[in-house]
Structure 1
Amino acid sequence: MKNEMLTVTEAAARIDAGDVMVIAGDEALLVQLPKGAWIGGTTVYFVTENGGAVVRDKLFCTTFAKATGATPRHVDVAGLPTISEGYKAGGVTMIMIPAFSVAHSQFAVDGQTYPGLFDQPLAGWITGVHLDDIGKKAPKVFDGSTGVGYDEGAVLLHVALPEGAQIDLDILNIFAQGDDAKLSFTFEDNGFSAKTAMVNGEQVKLADYITDNKIDTRLPLVANYSGALVNVSIQSVDTETGEVKFYAPVVAGVEYRMANALGSYSQAFAQGAGDGGTGQYSCNCILNYLYGELEGQRTGGFTGPVTFGEIAYILLNQTLVRMDINDAA
């Protein structure tokens, strides 16, 4: 795969030449692109070769050089369970969903139940806008086959690859579960918010509990799914309403522990990223960008869009999703 920051003119020329691409950038740029084998999503935050930056005049383009074909499509909320119906044998599917949409919530809660979802690698992200524009502009996704942008549903790029291609899809999560029993939570219901939680067998008012215990809300809740650590990030704590909002849904009955504190967020992330990432597809969470102070900082060889959520089969928070495609062994 090839990752590049391109002008609209340069990206359009690649599309017209038949390149298979996933594209990220400002809506004003994406609407100018011609029809072709691509999907796109809005963001103005990126990790570039020179470090994290806000970029409004160029598009971040990942080209699937090994692709033998690709089918872009848009599905509405009702069509989300059909994601796997477009899978190409031995291929990979890319996905983008607008932040704050019904599809965002539906996929987060129900996605893992969709038929055949895990039958091939599914990678992508939740599209966003500049933080100053939240509530003013809607995040968008673009179906390259029509050039149309949507603020609801999902866009998919079903990519065909040569026989035997090896796809490595993984996440970088710098957080581990803490061992403090006072910071272990279970919830009665699935959802993006909660007012109560169980701690040591007792129900607590969650907003008050977080405030009274001076819990660092930059740290996520971490669940252990058969050895895979999955984060749920805290969006806000409102002691007046008693509501705590999350960037991804908590799941009823699952134990969540507050992540261990980091000595230095930025150093921990840089150490976790290491020197890898060159030539791989990746996307990184806006919370890592903000809390890790990534503006102007590099993340090894990883470059890509900064997002309002990451997808590696399921919705993730405060992670870096990475994918590599290699020839048959």
Structure 2
Amino acid sequence: MKNEMLTVAEAAERITSGAVMAIAGAEELLAGLPRGRWIGGTSVYFVTETGGAVVRDRLFCTTFPEATDATARHVDVAGLPGLASGYHPHGFTMIMIPAFSTAHSDFAVHGQEYDGLFNQPLLGWITGVHLEDVGKCAPMVFDGATGIGYDEGAVLLHVALPAEASIDLDILNIFAQGDAEEHRFVFSDNGFSTKTATVGGTPVDLAKYIAEKGIDTRLPLVANYAGALVNVSIQSIDAETGEVKFYAPIVAGVEYRLAGALGSYAEAFAKGTDGAGEGQYSCNCILNYLYGDLEGKKTGKFTGPVTFGEIAYILLNQTMVRMDIGTAA
């Protein structure tokens, strides 16, 4: 595969040549692309060859010359459980979902129950906007087959590969669950926000509890799903209303533990990337970008969009997802 920052004209030329592509960029740029075998999502944050940056005048384009066929499509929320029906016999599927949409929540809570979801590698990300525009304009996804943009549902790119191709899908999560009993939380409702939680069987005002305990909100809440650690990151706390907002929906009845302290966030993340990433697809959480101080800095040789959530079969948060395509031994 090939990762590049391209102008709209350059990306359009690549699309019209028949290339299979995943594209990220500002809404107005994506809206100007021709129809073809591609999907796109909004982001203005990227990790490029020269480091992390806000880019509004170019598109981050990943081209898959290995593809033997590809199908781009949009599914609404009701169609999400059937997303695996479009899988090609041998290949992978990319998915993009707008942040804070109904689809975002549905996929987070019910995605692992979708029939056939795990039958082939599924990866992608939650689209976003500049942090100053959160709540002001909607994150978008684009179906390249029609050129239409959506603020709800999901876009899928089902990619077929040669039989000899191998796919390596991996997650970088620098966090583990902490051990403190006072930092274990259970919630009564699903959703992107809450005012209350239960700690040790006692209901608490979550905003006040976080303040009183001096909890570092750069650390995510981490749930353990049969050995798979899934982060839910805190977006903001409104001291007046007591509302705590998250970048991914919390799930009722699941125990979340505050992640253990890292020491230096930037050093932990840099160590995790360890110089790798050339020729691979990756997407990296906006919180890694912020807390890992990635502006102007590289993450090994990984390049890609900075996202409001990552997908490797299931929804993730405060992680980096990467995929490599090779040849089976």
Q: Distance in 2 between matches of 1:322 and 1:89?
A: 22
C-alpha displacement of 1:239: 4.0
C-alpha displacement of 1:209: 1.1
Q: Distance in 2 between matches of 1:55 and 1:318?
A: 21
Kept after mapping to 1: 8 A contact 2:100/2:192? no
For residues 24-78 of structure 1, give each alpha carbon's deviation from its aligned partner in whole angstroms, at most 9, with x where no partner exists: 0111211221111100111110000100001111110111121101000011121
TM-score, normalising length: structure 2: 0.96
Q: How does 1:224-263 map to 2 (within 5 A)?
A: 224-263=224-263
Within the alignment, does 1:182 sit opposite 2:182 as a pair?
A: yes
Kept after mapping to 2: 8 A contact 1:109/1:191? no
Structure 2 residue identity aligned to 1:300 = G
Structure 1 residue aligned with 2:107: 107
Q: Distance in 2 between matches of 1:30 and 1:197?
A: 40
- How many residues are paired up? 329
TM-score, normalising length: structure 1: 0.96
SS of alignment partner, residue 267 of structure 1: helix
SS of alignment partner, residue 189 of structure 1: coil
Structure 2 residue identity aligned to 1:312 = A
Structure 2 residue identity aligned to 1:193 = S
Kept after mapping to 2: 8 A contact 1:21/1:62? yes
Kept after mapping to 2: 8 A contact 1:124/1:312? yes
C-alpha displacement of 1:273: 0.9
SS of alignment partner, residue 324 of structure 2: strand
C-alpha displacement of 1:204: 2.2
C-alpha displacement of 1:236: 2.1
Structure 1 residue aligned with 2:319: 319
Moved more, 45-54 or 74-83: 74-83
Q: Distance in 1 between matches of 2:245 and 2:37?
A: 37
Q: How does 1:25-40 map to 2 (within 5 A)?
A: 25-40=25-40
Q: Distance in 2 between matches of 1:233 and 1:2?
A: 31
SS of alignment partner, residue 197 of structure 2: strand
For residues 195-229 of structure 1, give each alpha carbon's deviation from its aligned partner in whole angstroms, at most 9, with x where no partner exists: 33232333322222111101011110112222222
Q: Distance in 2 between matches of 1:76 and 1:18?
A: 26
Moved more, 218-227 or 59-68: 218-227
SS of alignment partner, residue 80 of structure 1: helix
SS of alignment partner, residue 272 of structure 1: helix
C-alpha displacement of 1:119: 1.3
SS of alignment partner, residue 13 of structure 2: helix
SS of alignment partner, residue 166 of structure 1: strand
Kept after mapping to 1: 8 A contact 2:99/2:128? yes
Calculate the aligned-residue CA RMSD, in Å.
Answer: 1.4
The gaps in structure 1 that reach 5 residues or longer are none
Structure 1 residue aligned with 2:97: 97
Q: How does 1:150-161 map to 2 (within 5 A)?
A: 150-161=150-161
Q: How does 1:8-157 map to 2 (within 5 A)?
A: 8-157=8-157
Q: Distance in 2 between matches of 1:196 and 1:132?
A: 27
Q: Distance in 2 between matches of 1:301 and 1:261?
A: 26
SS of alignment partner, residue 210 of structure 1: helix
Structure 2 residue identity aligned to 1:311 = I
Q: Distance in 2 between matches of 1:225 and 1:115?
A: 18
Structure 2 residue aligned with 1:309: 309
Kept after mapping to 2: 8 A contact 1:90/1:164? no
Structure 1 residue identity aligned to 2:17 = A
Q: Distance in 2 between matches of 1:190 and 1:182?
A: 22
Distance 1:253 1:101, change over 3 A: closer
SS of alignment partner, residue 306 of structure 2: strand
C-alpha displacement of 1:172: 0.4
C-alpha displacement of 1:238: 3.0
Q: Distance in 1 between matches of 2:77 and 2:13?
A: 32
C-alpha displacement of 1:250: 2.1
Q: Distance in 1 between matches of 2:198 and 2:151?
A: 36
For residues 254-290 of structure 1, give each alpha carbon's deviation from its aligned partner in whole angstroms, at most 9, with x where no partner exists: 2211111222111111111111111111001111111
Moved more, 86-95 or 204-213: 204-213
Structure 1 residue identity aligned to 2:222 = V
Within the alignment, does 1:293 sit opposite 2:262 as a pair?
A: no
Q: Distance in 2 between matches of 1:266 and 1:210?
A: 23
Kept after mapping to 1: 8 A contact 2:98/2:104? yes
Overall identity of the aligned pairs, in %:
75
Q: Distance in 2 between matches of 1:127 and 1:16?
A: 24
SS of alignment partner, residue 32 of structure 2: coil
Distance 1:19 1:170, change over 3 A: same
C-alpha displacement of 1:328: 2.1
SS of alignment partner, residue 125 of structure 1: strand
Structure 2 residue identity aligned to 1:226 = A
Structure 1 residue aligned with 2:279: 279
SS of alignment partner, residue 247 of structure 2: strand
Q: Distance in 1 between matches of 2:106 and 2:202?
A: 30
Structure 2 residue identity aligned to 1:155 = V
